[in-house]
Structure 1
Amino acid sequence: MPKESGTQLIASNKKARHDYHILDTFEAGLVLTGSEVKSLRMGRASLVDGFIFIENGEAWMESAYIPEYLNGSWTNHRPRRKRKLLLHRQEIDKLWGKTREGGMTIVPLKLYFVDGRAKVEIALAKGKREYDKRQTLREQQDKREAERAMRTKNRMGE
């Protein structure tokens, strides 16, 4: 029985959802050192610059920022080191095949604990064009304005 239960969000990559069309998501485990886990438990991390690549049949996450543990000694980790991801062979093969087709990339979306174990949600994504980003922002703004109008109308009707 794990000491912790449930899901605890550490970091999310909102920029990835803005910059990419998310096609498929996967949950992967992370190979971490002790100081990295302690730093994550403090709730400080960033996935904004992070990316995933596949090398020699293994998935790796590069440039995700996990700050050094404040109470760590000389055994502390490097903040932007390469970290191995734990995925099933079929998932790795699928991701590798899709990225070889062209125009596809793998980005981290969320970093979280599930029952005390660090997990990262990764996505197979396709880059958005500039006009796609503007269209998404316009749709969000229209939706917000419609909700605002409905709220005021409902208040007036009471």
Structure 2
Amino acid sequence: MAGKNKKGGKGANPKEIRNSKVHRDYLVEDTYEAGIVLSGTEVKSIRAGKAQISEGFCRFHKDEFFIYALHIDEYAFGNINNHVPRRERKLLLKKSELKKIARALEAGGKSAIPLRLYFKEALIKVEIGICTGKKLFDKREDLKKKAQMRDIDRVMKEVRVR
């Protein structure tokens, strides 16, 4: 008898798809939750965990906000009406949020990058971050802090054991 799939195992439904490179390469200032316009086979493919947002970015086109370079694999059981894996997809936000994002991007030096793709009840949402790129010395500083925190945790664990 085969065992049940546990979380994170092969074939399990993922709760969210994260962009692992964002916090390493960017400093996230603001976040927004946006809906996304998808076709039926795209939703089924995301439910199967077959999506990548690591190369994604967002941009305005004629007063509408789109996400580009979001890769959603073709649905395995789809027919000739299957979707195109890489296409721009419209993001759904309130007008006030769109204006805030537009002002932040026009100021310069900032990018709108997808942080995660997740389910909110039956809907698929995208968390968008307004980000500033990190310099090399910022990345090194973060690595030093991470190493220091790891050392502190190790020492505290030894003290608790005694």
TM-score by length of 2: 0.89
Q: Relative contact order (C-alpha < 8 Å, sep 6+): which is higher? A: 1
Tell me if structure 2 keeps the 8 A contact 1:9–1:110. Answer: no
1:64 aligns with 2:70: yes
Deviations 1:70-129 (A, max 9, x none): 000111111111000000011111111111111011000010010110000001111110
Q: Aligned to 1:113, which of 94, 119, 124? A: 119
1:92 partner letter: L
Structure-2 residue corresponding to 1:5? none
Alpha carbon RMSD of aligned pairs, Å?
Answer: 1.0
Structure-2 residue corresponding to 1:97? 103
Structure 1 runs of 4+ off > 4 angstroms? none
Tell me if structure 2 keeps the 8 A contact 1:35–1:68. Answer: yes
1:41 partner letter: R
1:81 aligns with 2:87: yes
Structure-1 residue corresponding to 2:4? none
TM-score by length of 1: 0.91
Out of 109-118 and 136-145, give the one that drifted further: 136-145
Note the residue ranges of structure 1 that are not aligned, 5 or more in a row: 1-7
Alignment of 1:1-158 (within 5 A): 9-155=15-161, 157=162
Out of 29-38 and 144-153, give the one that drifted further: 144-153
Aligned residues: percent identity?
Answer: 39
2:51 partner letter: A
Note the residue ranges of structure 2 that are not aligned, 5 or more in a row: 1-13
Cα separation, 2, equivalents of 1:40 and 1:26: 20
Cα separation, 2, equivalents of 1:9 and 1:16: 19
Cα separation, 2, equivalents of 1:79 and 1:17: 25
Tell me if structure 2 keeps the 8 A contact 1:61–1:82. Answer: yes
Cα separation, 2, equivalents of 1:97 and 1:81: 25
